[in-house]
Structure 1
Amino acid sequence: MLCTIETFDMATRQSRVVLRSEALLEAPNWARDGALIVNGEGLLHRLAEDGLSVIDTGDCDLLNNDHGLSPDGAWLAISDKTETGKSCIYVLPADGGTPRRVTQGVPSWFHGWSPDGARLAYTAVRDGQFAICTCPVAGGEETRVVTSAHHYDGPDYTPDGQWIWFNSERGGPASDLWRVRPDGSDLQQMTRGERVEWFPHPSPCGRHVLYLSYPEGTEGHPFGRHVELRLMPAGGGAPETLVNLYGGQGTINVPCWAPDGSAFAYVRYTEPQESPCPV
């Protein structure tokens, strides 16, 4: 399978291919030095001008694609199931090193850092229900920000720390985008429509939210669909479609903005071609 890691320039509204790969790579983060962090085959990789290199994650070698850099770029949060068989969240130096486990409850899937770098936001299953949770990076008591008998995913903080955006189908059969205060108050539904919306990422300037949009009727967030990358005003309103592509799972699961907000990164996959009918 061919995938391409691409960047989208917000000023020119143009995409640029950074890497073509036969390996399955997913979920780019953008480091402060311009490198991208991606995962593939259970490991994390750093993509810089000299190519791909593996990041040392110690004993954690069953990583999923939920990972992200701290606001100062010094730390990586990862989600790995090596220790327990279910996803746990760990942090380690951004250049690699020994992971330190943060979440005791499982499963837990990382999705965002608070702007001050003090807390992590993540998706979890607790008492048989999905939840959006936060906890101190240093370890400590978990806060269930919102939970109910619905699916919740993709929490990401706004740059001022006043909101956590996420996606859920709690408002109807299709997944929409929501936001909530970190203390669980003022829950607001931000999209309503026939399409299926996932993985909102507020821009560093705080004015926009980038997200993945699936066609009507899509269940979950599958790989291998014709999807759109959309941009909407942070206060709500009509979205702009920036990119049409073949992707889905792995395209923008985690925060993918450049630190200055000038661009974002994503993964596109090659659509399988039907074999010609035999003559």
Structure 2
Amino acid sequence: MLLRSLMLTTALFAGAAAGAEDAPVLAKDFDFTFAPDGGTYAYYSYKGGALPDIYSRHHHEAEQNLTNRDDTWDIEPDYSPDGAEIIYSSGISMAVMDIRIMNADGSHDRPLFEGENSQVGAEWSPDGKHILFTTFKIGDKTADIFVMDRNGKNLRKLTEGFGGASSGGSWSADGKTIAFIHADEPEGAHEVFVMNADGSMRRKLTDSGNRKMGTLFTPDGKSIIYSQTAPDEWIDLYMVSVETGALKQVTDTPNATEYFPTFTPDGAHLVFSRGDWENGFRFGHMQAPETEGH
């Protein structure tokens, strides 16, 4: 099993690298999400000056454009736990985004949730019964985290009465805890928080004052990985202990930014988007960081 996992991972990373070399135009690939088999992943990509579409790739095979629309922004895909469907955000601009759902091959693409504001960052619960997402109110620069049933019904606001902007939510592997980023003021400090899956027991984990983006639980639930502006002004990945609040810098890449961390299904590797806005963003990866004692 270990050998099979290693071979799968090697082939996958080789395929991603080959895709980068063969790309005919400058690409910016973001937010990789894996099907349960570990060999298929989806992401959104800007090709040249075009608006972003959702793509998928299996090992080293050619990528497939799943949305292929010229007039909408299609971003932030997430595979369902069974790998059968993908949810993502789509809209005529980043300020007007709704949540859509499609089969993993791009078929039966349809609206799932439409609201007055911009709905982004949709993520399946580990059991596939619920969907977590962020709603941004662009006008007053606030944001809240919501959860709904997988059919787009039974909407609940988890950050009711919290104020400010809460975004970048993610589930723990057992589905009992949610991590997120919160800022009291739009230009103020962005810190990592956790709360119960029903929105209760909110607790701050960081207090560094740096701007932070996105959250990702480690598979064991002991730590949370996120992007943060580093001293050199580039954006690196950091990790905070859920229990103690101890901090650890995960990446320190010169002249590069890292966004959208995720784990391979076997938990062995951390995958993310690495690059810069001038030269493009591609598939980055490393061995999963240790969580004990950091």
TM-score band w.r.t. shorter chain: 0.7 to 0.9
Aligned counterpart in structure 1 of residue 259 of structure 2, from 252, 262, 276: 252
Alignment match, 1:266: 272
Alignment match, 2:151: 138
Distance 1:191 1:60, change over 3 A: farther
1:234 aligns with 2:242: yes
1:78 aligns with 2:54: no
Alignment of 1:100-111 (within 5 A): 100-105=110-115, 106-111=117-122
Alignment match, 1:91: 101
Work out the percentage of aligned pairs sharing the same amino acid.
19
User: Deviations 1:220-268 (Å, cap 9, x if unpaired)?
Assistant: xxxxx512212232324222222123455xx433x62111211121121
Aligned counterpart in structure 2 of residue 176 of structure 1, from 174, 179, 191: 191
Kindly indicate whether the alpha-carbon contact (under 8 Å) linking 1:102 and 1:138 is maintained by their aligned counterparts in 2. yes
Alignment match, 1:6: none
Alignment match, 2:226: 211
Q: Shift of residue 30 of structure 1?
A: 2.4
Describe the SS at the equivalent of 1:102: strand
Deviates more, 1:159-168 or 1:93-102: 93-102
Aligned counterpart in structure 1 of residue 167 of structure 2, from 140, 153, 161: 153
Alignment match, 1:37: 42
Distance 1:214 1:59, change over 3 A: same
1:69 aligns with 2:118: no
Distance 1:206 1:60, change over 3 A: farther
Deviates more, 1:108-117 or 1:30-39: 30-39
1:117 aligns with 2:128: yes
Q: Shift of residue 163 of structure 1?
A: 1.1
Describe the SS at the equivalent of 1:139: coil
Distance in 2 (alpha carbons) for counterparts of 1:136 and 1:247 = 38
Alignment match, 2:285: none
Structure 2: runs of 5 or more not aligned: 1-5, 7-12, 47-51, 280-294
User: Could you tell me which amino acid in structure 2 is paired with residue 141 of structure 1?
Assistant: N
Distance 1:85 1:201, change over 3 A: closer
Relative contact order (alpha carbons < 8 A, sep ≥ 6): 1 or 2 greater?
1
Distance 1:139 1:192, change over 3 A: same
Distance in 2 (alpha carbons) for counterparts of 1:134 and 1:118 = 10
Distance in 2 (alpha carbons) for counterparts of 1:83 and 1:101 = 16
Aligned counterpart in structure 1 of residue 213 of structure 2, from 198, 205, 213: 198
Aligned pairs, number: 249
Kindly indicate whether the alpha-carbon contact (under 8 Å) linking 1:58 and 1:99 is maintained by their aligned counterparts in 2. no
Distance in 2 (alpha carbons) for counterparts of 1:214 and 1:195 = 6
Kindly indicate whether the alpha-carbon contact (under 8 Å) linking 2:259 and 2:274 is maintained by their aligned counterparts in 1. no
User: Deviations 1:148-189 (Å, cap 9, x if unpaired)?
Assistant: 441221111111111111101139921010111222210111
Kindly indicate whether the alpha-carbon contact (under 8 Å) linking 1:113 and 1:120 is maintained by their aligned counterparts in 2. yes
Deviates more, 1:162-171 or 1:46-55: 46-55
Structure 1: runs of 5 or more not aligned: 1-8, 10-15, 219-224, 274-279
Distance in 2 (alpha carbons) for counterparts of 1:271 and 1:56 = 24
Distance 1:270 1:100, change over 3 A: closer
Q: Shift of residue 207 of structure 1?
A: 2.4
Aligned Cα root-mean-square deviation (Å): 3.0
Distance in 2 (alpha carbons) for counterparts of 1:142 and 1:238 = 34
Q: Shift of residue 141 of structure 1?
A: 2.6
User: Could you tell me which amino acid in structure 2 is paired with residue 96 of structure 1?
Assistant: G
Q: Shift of residue 23 of structure 1?
A: 1.3
